[in-house]
Structure 1
Amino acid sequence: MAKKPDLIAYQVKNVEGREKGIWNRIGAAWAHENGEGYNIALDALPLDGKIILIKPLEKDED
């Protein structure tokens, strides 16, 4: 089985009239073996908005 990701990649888009942005999971990141960076695998590439990398939530670790 593959190693679980260290970080989850989300595309976050702000929408006028909403307090919070819309978050869509678009990929994941794993630390390099040497600890000097990350390998990022994206399933989608946003044309607008931004990409945020955060630690997986407990519900993402299934």
Structure 2
Amino acid sequence: MKRNDKKPAPHAVYVVEGGDNAFWTKIGAAWPNQEGKGFNIQLSCLPLNGRLVVREPRANAEAGR
């Protein structure tokens, strides 16, 4: 199977702890799967508290900055 050279930029995965002044820690990345109906997620750690948030890539990340 040939891989697509223009792989989409990964979404960032964060664990968010707290309320109004929440502390965000980036813990991984997520890519849309081939069918486009979900994500493949790679985490560098597992959170014990907080909530997971997946955010779209920033424009400067897509430009390679």
TM-score computed with the length of structure 1 as normaliser: 0.76
- State the number of aligned residues: 58
- Find the structure with the greater CA-based Rg: 2
Residues 57 and 11 (structure 1), Cα distance of their counterparts in 2 relative to 1, 3 Å cut = same
Question: Percent identical across equivalent pairs?
Answer: 37
Structure 1 unmatched runs, 5+: none
TM-score computed with the length of structure 2 as normaliser: 0.73
For residues 1-60 of structure 1, the C-alpha deviation after alignment (integer angstroms, 9 at most, x for no partner) is 8x431x110010116xxx310000000100011111110000111100111001122344
RMSD value, Cα: 2.1
